[in-house]
Structure 1
Amino acid sequence: MSTYLELYDYRQQVFALYRERDHAILAGKDSEAIWKRFCMRRDTLFAQHSQSALTEEQRRTFTALPYFPYNPALRFAVEIETNVEPQRQSTAMNSTESMEMATVGRVHFTVEGEEASLDLYWLDVYGGGLFLPFRDTTCPQEAYGGGRYLFDTVKGSTPIPAGEDGKNTIILDFNYAYNPSCAYNDAWVCPLAPMENRLTVPIRAGELKYR
């Protein structure tokens, strides 16, 4: 199979993984059970697919991705504030590369009694896509030093809808926070969280640093 077709297949499987999660959540199934199944299926994709972020050598010894324990306190229903200045910026991918994106919204939530917010971006690539990166105070000791993502719709990871009809309301569930591909090996370059998305609180949920 062509490398491009393999990549297409991988992205289709990622989309399917997130669709299954969303359907289960909207059906009212147990949140922790949904998360556990999601992590298990994601591990299988990482272990078996040629286009996963792991190298062939890494896949040979791979067993599972590491996560914080499931934390229901880091799951929020939030309304996307859209009355924000659509500021354009370049976010660093490494010391020489960057990606253009624009601020299109903001979400607010409270962690351990402290108010926090994250900006939501639109990636300036063909077709565009919603993107929510962040960095918190568990970086770099527990979580990857460059930060994590909650979703990147260009690559198939999507926000969780808060209801069938909600457009501006989503579930912000940090248990699904995941590492960018560059966290696993140096073959990848990834956009990192801008300064305004660097939280001053710990987010002890989602994927841990890959070791």
Structure 2
Amino acid sequence: MKKYSYVLVFLFSVCLNAQEKKLETSLEYQQKLNKEFADSTSSPLMEADLKTFKALDFYPIDEKYIVEAKFVKAKREKVFEMKTTTTRLPKYKKYGELHFTLDGKTFKLNVYQNIDLSKKPGYKDYLFLPFTDLTCGKESYIGGRYLDARIPKSDVMIIDFNKAYNPYCAYNYKYSCPLVPLDNDLDIEIKAGVKKFHD
């Protein structure tokens, strides 16, 4: 019985450390984003906003929004032109689907590959995961938010909504940003990641 208790304590410790590691990863990402926004050489902020910038407004990091999704690779998808906030029409293709559960409900998000970007060094396995949810236009940016991903080596992908960020268009009208496809509209509030910049 005593040995069994030790095993339970060990397993709990491992799980706790894993959770802390996930949360730390989310926090490190948010800190990195704040650093980029504060740096005039990498910030998308307009000059007036950069002068007063201190930090982006994030939802509190929540383990609930780090979900395990089943990845289903798309087959024979055609390349299409994704609409943007300008006349620019970058070429993308649907690379796969992510199926996951949140608050007892099942959801699906399409994940995309930018054709031109995939040809550049370091971006061969890069995937684009845009989404909208029920917080859009209220607490978060009306145009939706983005997540970055890499092609998984299995049929499982971790989605960390704590890393959701706004398109640069949310900060500066000079940018051209992809519009979130209607298929990626989630019928749930994703209270994680970056909130809208201005009220």
Shorter-chain TM-score: which interval? 0.7 to 0.9
User: What is the distance in 1 between the residues matched to 2:59 and 2:31?
Assistant: 14
Deviations 1:160-208 (A, max 9, x none): 97xxxx4443211101011111111111110021011111111111110
**Secondary structure of 1:43's match?**
helix
Residues 50 and 56 in structure 1, CA contact (< 8 A), matched pair in contact too:
no
Q: What is the match of residue 160 of structure 2? A: 173
**Secondary structure of 2:128's match?**
strand
Q: Which runs of 5+ in 1 are unaligned?
A: 1-26, 152-157
Deviations 1:87-119 (A, max 9, x none): 433222125333221111100111222210100
- TM-score of the two chains, using structure 1 as the length reference: 0.74
Residues 84 and 106 in structure 1, CA contact (< 8 A), matched pair in contact too:
no
Q: Where do 1:187-206 residues align within 5 Å?
A: 187-206=174-193
User: What is the distance in 2 between the residues matched to 1:87 and 1:144?
Assistant: 30
Q: Where do 1:103-182 residues align within 5 Å?
A: 103-126=94-117, 127=119, 129-151=126-148, 158-159=149-150, 166-182=153-169
User: What is the distance in 2 between the residues matched to 1:196 and 1:84?
Assistant: 17
Q: What is the match of residue 59 of structure 1? A: 50
CA RMSD of aligned residues (A): 2.2
Rg larger in structure: 2
Q: What is the match of residue 102 of structure 1? A: 93
Compared CA separation, residues 184 and 110, structure 1 to 2 (3 A) = same
Task: Give percent identity, aligned residues only.
Answer: 33
Q: Which runs of 5+ in 2 are unaligned?
A: 1-16
Alignment length, in residue pairs?
A: 175
- TM-score of the two chains, using structure 2 as the length reference: 0.79
Residues 74 and 94 in structure 2, CA contact (< 8 A), matched pair in contact too:
no
Which amino acid in the other structure matches residue 132 of structure 1?
L
